């Protein structure tokens, strides 16, 4: 709850002294606008060099904030956030309570919305109209909302014109809109969407169909000039799409004309954020509309040429292929779906898609044929999924040698833990894992040695062996002795060494400590706060282990060594000093 998170100390700790002081100044001069609370969030505008949008919220029990100012954009808790926090505190301060001998309690804050409602309910109609008109002169969103309600009440062609004008005004862009401005821009469009939703009535649904199409097309084209990385505008487009579908279902427009518009949208909109495919609009399209949609799709499909080479992404081809696939899926025609997919055999993954469709239809011989064709067409590193499909199929057909051979190829091409696991699974099913395991580990050792001794123009000298994969295999197999050996045969990935240390803590504490000490210097040398925090976390683990061994003096010596070694890294030394302070040495058993 924000009530437990927002306080002066928390605001100063997040912002720092200078930003906190500037935030106090902003609050003192009344730069913070009206606070709006929603669940565990509070919103407000702050007037500075510009008008900034500020939001504070509870993020997993911690106070967090964001602002549209440049400093917040760099990840800092800015002075505007401080000002809003102070404004929130000012509104939520409890009234003084006289001493009664009992523990003082916070006074319950009055609900401002309830007070406003009670006031408005006592006012005559004329006064309410004047209040609304006065606010609408200063609030463009309210003005637009009231204007559209008024136009709808009057009816006729003026209402549709007013809605189109409101859509155009909200969507209009003057230059690129970055993430700092997108909230305001999205809010304007969302306001129009709210007004459009009021048209979802029998007498106005037909008008809503055209207006929703106009809005979706306008917004999709405008998004090429908007940074919508948080998905605000995309969400509004999806909402407009849902409105459009409901309006079509309610208004029952001409199905043939609807099919033609839907097909155009599905094949031309740049982002395709909402679906205009035939399956989605099956009900409003009806039999005639579905037939016309299919005619348009098939006519366009005839223009698509088969291809066997990957020539890059083609948006139009992708759109018409998607339409044809959905039509085939809706009809349940497997042969048609296979024929559609077979028009693009530019990768082994395409063959896999066909094989999986046929296998699902229990046409296993055809599925195997397509998978083997894909392997033959792309012998140089085919998609692993295709080879996995073939391995599973071969095992079912007792073609064990071929299944094992394909699995070995994957392991040798790209040595890693996952290919090793596949080898374990296949060889285990065949009952030959011990021999295959020895073969795999021998091959891996030979490969490591070969890599170490090989030289080239870019590697003129032999390198240190990398035993990371060997260590990861040993950890997966829970062979701690093999893992320990691998960790000392060459260099290893740091995360693997830490994982091994964690598993050794219980029974081999000294070995765990040595591994932690081995990785900590490299972590600290990264010279960034997140690395310092990780390093100190491991230092504390060492402390816990040495405490259990009653090695207080040795741990103290180790901390002193670290302090001397990394003295120039001030942020790390601060964290290290916290470790020293947190240790109650007097209570440690000696």
Smallest CA-to-CA distance from 275 within 216, 346, 232 is with: 216
What's the rounded mean pLDDT across residues 417-443?
A: 97
pTM value is 0.69
> How much is the pLDDT for 191?
87
> How much is the pLDDT for 100?
40
Backbone angles phi, psi at 46, to 5 degrees: -125, 125
> How much is the pLDDT for 481?
97
| Three-state secondary structure of 455-492 | CCCCCCCCCCCECHHHHHHHHHCCCHHHHHHHHCCCEC
**Cα–Cα distance, 549 to 570 (Å, whole number):** 30
Give every CB contact of residue 24 below 8 A, 6+ residues apart in sequence: 82, 83, 86
> How much is the pLDDT for 564?
94
- Work out the percent of the chain whose per-residue pLDDT is above 70: 93
Backbone angles phi, psi at 80, to 5 degrees: -70, -35
Over residues 492-521, the pLDDT tens digits come to: 999 999 999 999 999 999 999 999 999 999
Calculate helix-pair angle for 157-171, 140-154, nearest 10 degrees. Answer: 160
**Cα–Cα distance, 447 to 243 (Å, whole number):** 61
Over residues 17-28, the pLDDT tens digits come to: 888 998 998 898
Element (H, E) at 242: helix 232-251
What's the rounded mean pLDDT across residues 310-331?
A: 90
- Work out the percent of the chain whose per-residue pLDDT is above 90: 62
* Higher per-residue confidence, 101 vs 391: 391
Backbone angles phi, psi at 57, to 5 degrees: -155, 165
What's the rounded mean pLDDT across residues 89-114?
A: 53
Over residues 112-163, the pLDDT tens digits come to: 667 778 888 888 888 888 877 877 777 666 776 777 777 666 655 678 888 8
Backbone angles phi, psi at 29, to 5 degrees: -90, 5
Give every CB contact of residue 373 below 8 A, 6+ residues apart in sequence: 351
- Is residue 374 within 8 A of residue 351, CB to CB? The reply is yes
Q: Which residues of 159-188 are buried (b: 16+ CB within 10 A; e: fewer)?
A: bbebbeebbeebbeeeeebeebebeebbeb
Task: To the nearest 10°, report the CA torsion of 226, 231, 233, 235.
Answer: 160
CB atoms within 10 A of CB 214: 17
Q: CA distances (Å), 307 to each of 310, 312, 368, 415, in order?
A: 8, 11, 22, 32
- Is residue 575 within 8 A of residue 536, CB to CB? The reply is yes
* Higher per-residue confidence, 28 vs 586: 28
Asked whether the predicted pLDDT for residue 589 surpasses 70, the reply is no
What is 363-384 written as a DSSP string? -HHHHHHHHHHHHHH--SS--H
DSSP-based three-state secondary structure for 276: coil
Task: To the nearest 10°, report the CA torsion of 439, 440, 446, 449.
Answer: -150
Q: Residue 590: pLDDT band by 50, 70, 90 thresholds?
A: very low
Q: Residue 98: pLDDT band by 50, 70, 90 thresholds?
A: very low
Over residues 166-220, the pLDDT tens digits come to: 999 999 988 899 887 888 898 889 989 999 999 999 999 999 999 999 999 999 9
- Is residue 472 within 8 A of residue 482, CB to CB? The reply is no
> How much is the pLDDT for 401?
97
Rg, the chain, Cα only: 34
Positive/negative CA dihedral, 360, 363, 368, 371: negative
Asked whether the predicted pLDDT for residue 105 surpasses 70, the reply is no
- Is residue 236 within 8 A of residue 185, CB to CB? The reply is no
Over residues 278-313, the pLDDT tens digits come to: 999 999 999 999 999 999 999 999 999 999 888 788
What's the rounded mean pLDDT across residues 425-453?
A: 95
What's the rounded mean pLDDT across residues 45-73?
A: 85
Per the prediction, the chain carries an average pLDDT of 89
> How much is the pLDDT for 386?
97
DSSP-based three-state secondary structure for 501: helix
Residue 301 CB-density burial (10 A; 0-12 exposed, 13-18 middle, 19+ buried): middle
Specify the range with the lowest mean pLDDT, choosing from 2-6, 220-224, 250-254, 356-360: 2-6
- Tell me which DSSP letter residue 330 carries: H
- Is residue 535 within 8 A of residue 572, CB to CB? The reply is yes
**Cα–Cα distance, 323 to 242 (Å, whole number):** 19
* Higher per-residue confidence, 456 vs 264: 264
Asked whether the predicted pLDDT for residue 111 surpasses 70, the reply is no
CB atoms within 10 A of CB 235: 14
What's the rounded mean pLDDT across residues 94-98?
A: 39
Q: Residue 586: pLDDT band by 50, 70, 90 thresholds?
A: very low
> How much is the pLDDT for 102?
43
């Amino acid at each position: 709850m924000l009530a437990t998170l927002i306080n002066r100390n928390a605001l100063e700790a997040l912002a720092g002294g200078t930003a906190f002081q500037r935030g106090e100044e902003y609050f003192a001069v009344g730069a913070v606008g009206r606070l709006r609370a929603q669940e565990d969030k509070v919103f407000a505008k702050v007037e500075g060099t510009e008008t900034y949008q500020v939001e504070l919220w509870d993020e997993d029990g911690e106070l967090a904030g964001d602002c549209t100012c440049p400093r917040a954009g760099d990840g800092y808790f800015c002075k505007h956030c401080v000002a809003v926090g102070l404004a929130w505190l000012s509104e939520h301060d409890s009234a003084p309570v006289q001493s009664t001998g009992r523990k003082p309690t916070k006074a319950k804050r009055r609900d401002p919305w309830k007070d406003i409602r009670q006031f408005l309910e006592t006012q005559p109609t004329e006064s309410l109209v004047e209040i609304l008109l006065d606010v609408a002169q200063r609030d463009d969103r309210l003005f637009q909302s009231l204007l559209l309600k008024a136009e709808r009440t009057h009816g006729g062609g003026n209402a549709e014109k007013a809605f189109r004008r409101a859509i155009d005004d909200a969507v209009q862009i003057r230059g690129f809109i970055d993430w700092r401005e997108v909230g305001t821009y999205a809010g304007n469009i969302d306001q129009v969407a709210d007004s459009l939703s009021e048209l979802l009535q029998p007498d106005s649904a037909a008008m809503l169909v055209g207006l929703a199409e106009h809005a979706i097309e306008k917004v999709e084209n405008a998004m090429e000039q908007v940074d919508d990385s948080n998905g605000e505008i995309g969400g509004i487009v999806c909402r407009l799409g849902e409105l459009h579908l409901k309006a079509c279902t309610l208004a029952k427009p001409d199905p043939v004309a609807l099919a033609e518009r839907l097909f155009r949208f599905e094949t031309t909109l740049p982002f395709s954020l909402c679906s205009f495919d035939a399956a989605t609009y099956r009900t409003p399209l009806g039999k005639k509309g579905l037939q016309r949609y299919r005619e348009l799709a098939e006519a366009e499909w005839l223009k698509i040429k088969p291809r066997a080479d990957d020539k890059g992404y083609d948006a139009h081809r992708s759109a018409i292929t998607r339409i044809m696939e959905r039509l085939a899926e809706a009809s349940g025609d497997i042969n048609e779906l296979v024929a559609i997919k077979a028009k693009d055999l530019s990768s082994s993954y395409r063959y896999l898609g066909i094989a999986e469709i046929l296998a699902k239809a229990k046409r296993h011989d055809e599925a195997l044929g397509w998978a083997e064709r894909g392997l033959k067409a792309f012998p140089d590193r085919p998609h692993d999924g295709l080879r996995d499909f073939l391995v599973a199929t071969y095992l079912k057909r007792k073609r064990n040698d071929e299944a094992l051979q394909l699995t070995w190829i994957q392991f040798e091409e790209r040595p890693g833990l996952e290919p090793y696991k596949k080898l374990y699974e296949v060889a285990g099913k065949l009952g030959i894992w011990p021999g295959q395991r020895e073969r795999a580990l021998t091959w891996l050792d030979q490969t490591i040695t070969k890599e170490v001794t090989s030289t080239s123009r870019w590697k003129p000298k032999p390198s240190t062996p990398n035993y990371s994969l060997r260590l990861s295999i040993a950890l997966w197999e829970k062979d701690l002795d093999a893992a320990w050996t691998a960790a000392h045969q060459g260099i290893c990935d740091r995360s693997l060494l830490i994982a091994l240390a964690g598993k050794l803590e219980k029974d081999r504490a000294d070995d765990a400590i040595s591994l932690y000490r081995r990785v900590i210097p490299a972590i600290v040398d990264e010279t960034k706060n997140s690395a310092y925090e990780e390093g100190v976390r491991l230092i504390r683990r060492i402390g816990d282990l040495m405490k259990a061994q009653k090695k207080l003096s040795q741990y103290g010596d180790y901390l002193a060594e670290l302090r001397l070694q990394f003295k120039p890294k001030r942020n790390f030394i601060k964290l290290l000093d916290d470790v020293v302070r947190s240790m109650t040495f007097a209570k440690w058993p000696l």
